[in-house]
């Protein structure tokens, strides 16, 4: 293996990590949440500007923590997509400049592969493996038969589950990002509001969250128009029960159909306490193992990008310096990094 410096800047976290032979030497994350909070969501232009301000500071801090210098690196890895285009560009330009300056390989990493491989810091993968990727931008069921082999067997037909949490939190007057505030409110509440179970149509393992999101918004607005008070804790609980049930049910169906050895949950929403408890409960006393990521792995970081980069370094999968970003890069097409 090698000394790898990895950069992540796909959304609202600027992150740099350094690994040496698989050992994590530094993992620096500069989050912009407090800035975007007042807008109730990530403002792409502001996010890109903040990445340009933070990237050098994160690089310096990661190097100082690791005790290594840029010239010690064997490769520079970067998130190439999916994500916000302007944000991705900042990380890519930094990684390309370093690769050019130090004449070392440039490794293009898929952001969701990173979220999946974050789990490799806490458990050993066993194949076939099923990964439920739940974040602010994605809701996918990914089947892996071996390392770096990703088959998307189900995905959201509209909104991502995290986006749905954030919008529901907004209508309930809870802070951004809405996942944790809803998670906490739901613990205090009871399931008293009737909400429709989402229907993702024909796709056996597909998801749909826009109907549920609209149902909550409409119900809250109509109660308020009638002058009735909305019980935030009960609404959070009623919403969370339905939202989590959908991902849990589809995951369990796929576990049975594909007879997987292991299930992994990944992405920002995998921090959800009810989702974690449900997955643990449903997979207890089965032959399928569950990896639950520690909280530090659930948010965006560059340690997860370095973990994927280690595999690509071994296989000598490097990108030319003409590499461009791809905001819509699919995980099942990660080998195809054209130069647009
Ligand atoms: O993976 P992530 O950090 O960013 C993306 O790449 O999208 O995920 C962020 C999402 C946000 O929508 C946030 O509300 C959600 O993860 N989230 C949670 C929890 N913590 C964060 N959703 C539900 N429950 C949580 N405890």
The model's pLDDT over 213-272, given as tens digits with 9 standing for 90+, comes to 999 999 999 999 999 999 999 999 999 999 999 999 999 999 999 999 999 999 999 999
CA 170 to ligand 1 centroid distance, Å = 14
Pocket of ligand 1 (CB under 6 A): 11, 135-137, 162, 165-166, 177-180, 183, 267-269, 271-272, 299-300
Confidence of residue 339 (pLDDT cuts 50, 70, 90): low
Q: Which atom of ligand 1 approaches the CA of 134 most closely?
A: 1
Task: Please list, in sequence order, all residues whose beta carbon lies within 8 angstroms of the beta carbon of residue 228, skipping any fewer than 6 positions away.
Answer: none
**How far apart, in whole angstroms, are the C-alpha atoms of residue 157 and residue 138?**
10
The model's pLDDT over 186-209, given as tens digits with 9 standing for 90+, comes to 999 999 999 998 877 767 999 999
Read off the tokens for 174: 């809870």
According to the model, what pLDDT value does residue 70 have?
Answer: 98
According to the model, what pLDDT value does residue 144 have?
Answer: 98
According to the model, what pLDDT value does residue 43 have?
Answer: 86
The model's pLDDT over 302-321, given as tens digits with 9 standing for 90+, comes to 999 999 999 999 999 999 99
According to the model, what pLDDT value does residue 130 have?
Answer: 98
Q: What are phi and psi of 67, to 5 degrees?
A: 75, 10
Confidence of residue 2 (pLDDT cuts 50, 70, 90): very high
CA 184 to ligand 1 centroid distance, Å = 14
CA 162 to ligand 1 centroid distance, Å = 5
According to the model, what pLDDT value does residue 37 have?
Answer: 82
Mutate to test the pocket of ligand 1, among 131, 165, 171 (most ligand atoms within 8 A of CB): 165
**How far apart, in whole angstroms, are the C-alpha atoms of residue 95 and residue 107?**
9
According to the model, what pLDDT value does residue 33 have?
Answer: 85
According to the model, what pLDDT value does residue 197 have?
Answer: 86
According to the model, what pLDDT value does residue 77 have?
Answer: 98
Could you give the maximum distance between any two Cα atoms of the chain, in Å? Answer: 67
Q: Which atom of ligand 1 approaches the CA of 176 most closely?
A: 14
**How far apart, in whole angstroms, are the C-alpha atoms of residue 229 and residue 131?**
40
CA 194 to ligand 1 centroid distance, Å = 24
According to the model, what pLDDT value does residue 40 have?
Answer: 79
pTM here is: 0.94
């Amino acid at each position: 293996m090698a000394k790898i410096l990895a950069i992540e800047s796909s959304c609202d976290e600027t992150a740099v990590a350094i690994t040496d032979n698989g050992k994590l030497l530094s993992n620096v994350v500069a989050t912009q949440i407090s800035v975007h909070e007042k807008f109730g969501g990530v403002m792409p232009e502001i996010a890109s500007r903040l990445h340009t301000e933070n990237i050098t500071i994160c690089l310096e801090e990661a190097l100082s923590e690791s005790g290594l210098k840029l010239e010690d690196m064997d490769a520079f890895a970067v998130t190439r997509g999916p994500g916000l285009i302007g944000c991705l560009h900042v990380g890519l330009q930094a990684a390309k400049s370093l690769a050019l300056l130090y004449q070392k390989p440039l490794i293009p990493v898929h952001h969701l592969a990173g979220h999946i491989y974050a789990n490799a810091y806490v458990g050993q993968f066993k194949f076939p493996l099923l990964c439920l990727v739940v974040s602010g931008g994605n809701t996918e069921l990914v089947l892996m038969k071996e390392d770096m082999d990703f088959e998307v067997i189900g995905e959201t037909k509209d909104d991502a589950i995290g986006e749905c949490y954030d919008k529901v939190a907004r209508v309930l007057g809870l802070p951004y990002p809405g996942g944790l505030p809803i998670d906490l409110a739901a613990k205090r509440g009871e399931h008293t509001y009737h909400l429709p179970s989402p229907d993702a149509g024909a796709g056996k393992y597909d998801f749909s969250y826009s109907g549920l999101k609209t149902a909550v918004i409409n119900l809250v607005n109509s109660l308020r128009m009638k002058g009735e008070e909305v019980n935030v804790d009960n609404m959070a609980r009623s919403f969370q029960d339905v939202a989590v049930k959908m991902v849990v049910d589809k995951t369990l169906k796929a576990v049975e159909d594909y007879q997987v050895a292991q299930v992994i949950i990944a992405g920002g929403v995998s921090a959800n306490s009810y989702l974690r408890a449900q997955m643990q409960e449903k997979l207890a006393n089965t032959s399928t193992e569950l990896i639950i990521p520690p909280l530090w792995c659930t948010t965006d970081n560059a340690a997860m990008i370095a973990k994927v980069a280690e595999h690509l370094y071994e296989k000598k999968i490097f990108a030319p310096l003409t590499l461009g970003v791809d905001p819509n890069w699919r995980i099942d097409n990660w080998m195809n990094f054209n130069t647009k």
